A and B are shown apart, each in its own frame.
Chain A
Amino acid sequence: KQEVTQIPAALSVPEGENLVLNCSFTDSAIYNLQWFRQDPGKGLTSLLLIQSSQREQTSGRLNASLDKSSGRSTLYIAASQPGDSATYLCAVFTGGGNKLTFGTGTQLKVEL
């Protein structure tokens, strides 16, 4: 059974700081990994999708890496802003179960 863990569970940083969010998964037989953002009481916004054959994806100030063999992914946020405050979720798509398994989330707060 696939299990996805995110560390840290919560993070508070001053504006402008670069930060790294971590995601680990137990079953490396994945098709892809996605990072999402969720604002309080809202749905999910897809940030980055990394296919299993890829090592990283970039979008603006966001960079996500994937090391499938070790079951790890990181989301790097450069020059953080208060508007980045949200919960960040990673999710892996496992072919065996044909479904997305979500991590526990990292609640990020960027302070002025």
Chain B
Amino acid sequence: GAVVSQHPSWVICKSGTSVKIECRSLDFQATTMFWYRQFPKQSLMLMATSNEGSKATYEQGVEKDKFLINHASLTLSTLTVTSAHPEDSSFYICSARPVGTGSYNEQFFGPGTRLTVL
């Protein structure tokens, strides 16, 4: 149980295009999902917290107009990188917290999406 999937697993795009990444909780519902970014040889950095039915909360320094987050259902959150540039190339990982669990409970992580912007 507690499986989170991401699609696509990798994507290559041209500079200036937009890319959408999906995060799905397959066997549980999640009111809260999290989006992280990981640059090579570095740790994960939280980008934003996605709440079902409301606006996402972005971490300091993360441009909300560039990284659009939509959490339209209890099993799906999407991250759209708009007008992507080479510096946006990174490994994007999402996680989900099951409905009914508190902040002290475990988040379940997706397998990540490798974005390369040419």
- A→B interface (CB under 8 Å): 31-32, 34, 36, 41-44, 46, 49, 51-52, 89, 91, 93, 95, 98-105
Q: By the criterion CB–CB under 8 Å, are A43 and B93 in contact?
A: yes
Q: A41-B114, A43-B93, A101-B46 are in contact. List 18 more A-B contacts (CB 8 A).
A: A31-B104, A34-B106, A36-B109, A43-B6, A44-B44, A46-B106, A46-B108, A49-B106, A52-B104, A89-B43, A91-B44, A93-B103, A95-B103, A98-B49, A99-B46, A100-B95, A102-B43, A104-B43
Contact partner, A105, options B43, B46, B49, B103, Cβ 8 Å: B43
Given the complex of chains A and B, what is the CA–CA distance between A84 and B38 in angstroms? 22
Q: How many residues of B contact A (CB 8 A)?
A: 22
Interface residues of B in 66-118 (CB under 8 A from A): 91, 93, 95, 103-104, 106-112, 114
* A31 pairs with B112, CB closer than 8 A: no
Chain A: interface secondary structure? strand
Asked whether B43 lies within 8 Å of A43 as measured between CB atoms, the reply is no
User: Which of the residues A32, A43, A49, A52 comes within 8 Å of B111, measured between beta carbons?
Assistant: A43
| Contact across chains for A43 and B103 when beta carbons are under 8 A apart | no
- Please determine whether B111 and A93 come into contact, CB atoms closer than 8 angstroms: no
Residues of B within 8 A of A51 (CB): 104
Give the residue of A52, A100, A103 whose beta carbon is less than 8 angstroms from that of B34. Answer: A100
Closest to A32 in B: B104
The 5 tightest CB contacts between A and B, nearest first, are A43-B111, A31-B104, A43-B112, A44-B109, A102-B43
Residues 31-44 of B, flagged 1 when their CB comes within 8 A of A and 0 if not, give: 00010000000111
Counting residue pairs across A and B whose Cβ atoms lie within 8 Å, the total is 50
Q: What are 22 A-B contacts defined by CB distance under 8 Å?
A: A32-B104, A34-B106, A41-B91, A41-B112, A42-B112, A43-B110, A43-B111, A44-B44, A44-B93, A46-B106, A46-B108, A46-B109, A89-B43, A93-B104, A95-B103, A98-B103, A99-B34, A100-B34, A100-B46, A100-B107, A101-B46, A103-B43
Docked Cα-Cα span, A98 to B103, in Å, equals: 7
A42 near B34 with CB under 8 A, answer no
